[in-house]
Amino acid sequence: MMYKVVVLLTVSLFLNLNQSLAQESKMPISDEFAHTFSVVAIDEVEGYMAIGVQSHWFNVGRIVPWAKTGVGVIATQSFANTKYGYEGLELLETGMHPEEVLMTLIEEDEGREYRQVAIIDVQGRIASFTGSQCIQSASSLRGEDFSVQANLMANDRVVPVMQETYEKNRKLPLAERVLETLKAAQNEGGDLRGQQSAALIMVKIKNEQNQLNKEPVIDLRVEDHYRPLAELERLLITHRGYELMNKADAALEKKDFALALRHYEKAENLMPDNIELQFWKSIAIISSGNERKGIKDLKKVLKGNINWQKLFLQLHKEGFINVSDGVYGEIENM
């Protein structure tokens, strides 16, 4: 009984001490523990804004990156206060300058010195802040159209290397440029604790009338992985492959088989083992008039996989694809 009393007293003293320290220092111990490195950027030529992040924390994509078409992108990290994300976007949407948005949020936040934030709006205006109590190494650097920031890093070189890498990769599309910057940060040492999750979000600068255009153009998240950036890169490559497949499908609808095949071939260079791509490429070849090659390729897809054979027959039956009776019979009787 005495042992239990001692344990309870010890736990009580420990909790009281922690609460006292938290109150004295304003440490936001109840907020998201998202120590990390990130990039926020805008490319007015491409017409996109993007944010990329990696951390040794589960599902960092739920915490740090905030983005809205026609408004801006925000990274909130360190002891992350997600209010900086959703309220920050609301304030940007009223037309406030990112610096005004940041100051408004900081002034209301007792835990401000534990925050790290970066904001870019649709005009390319930037604001960033690294609180004095962010765990070292912690800093941020800006370029003309981007900001890189990090805390709890293995060394002081991580952020400068991110800035250098972004500048050196300006010929790349924005999403790939952001990813290369994240990879450089990791190669320089990255998060002192290691790797776990990553995210990449890209939205349009212009808020178009079509509701669908308000959705992120890219929204990729790796919640838990021993090499999250490698997995994020694989997902981005797959995303690009499916973009090309969508273009090929659109060309097929217009019966522009040559264009469809060019898009499928480019997609296949990115995703050589994708069976969905191989299936539709075979259909495009058959539809273009090269039945023998198309059937040969299609049989490779269907061999040993009755479901893809059923799909082919069903699509033909319902008029989604049109092939000659000879082709249909040959596939049906495989």
82-92 pLDDT, tens digit per residue, is 999 999 999 99
192 and 299 housed in the same domain: no
187 and 148 housed in the same domain: yes
192 and 53 housed in the same domain: yes
Within-domain flag for 1: no
What is the residue range of 307's domain?
Answer: 241-332
* pLDDT higher at 179 or 19: 179
Within-domain flag for 157: yes
195 and 253 housed in the same domain: no
Please, what is the average pLDDT of the chain?
Answer: 90
Q: Would you state the torsion angle of the CA atoms of residues 84, 87, 93, 99, taken in this order, to the nearest 10 degrees?
A: -40
pLDDT digits (tens, 9 = 90+) for 157-198: 999 999 999 999 999 999 999 999 999 999 999 999 999 999
Contact 174, 209 (CB under 8 A): no
59 and 113 housed in the same domain: yes
Q: How many structural domains compose the chain? A: 2
Q: Any idea what DSSP says for residue 68?
A: E
249 and 220 housed in the same domain: no
108 and 171 housed in the same domain: yes
Q: What is the pTM of this model?
A: 0.88
Instruction: Give how far Cα 71 sits from Cα of 92, 196, 220, Å.
Output: 6, 29, 20
Cα distance between residue 49 and residue 114, in whole Å: 26
pLDDT digits (tens, 9 = 90+) for 210-254: 655 668 999 999 999 999 999 999 999 999 999 999 999 999 889
Beta-carbon neighbour count of residue 160 at 10 Å? 13
CATH number of the domain within which 281 lies: 1.25.40.10
163 and 108 housed in the same domain: yes
Within-domain flag for 129: yes
203 and 285 housed in the same domain: no
106 and 198 housed in the same domain: yes
183 and 46 housed in the same domain: yes
248 and 144 housed in the same domain: no
Within-domain flag for 7: no
Q: Which of 26-35, 134-143, 183-192 has the lowest mean pLDDT?
A: 26-35
1 alpha carbon, distance to own chain's centre: 54
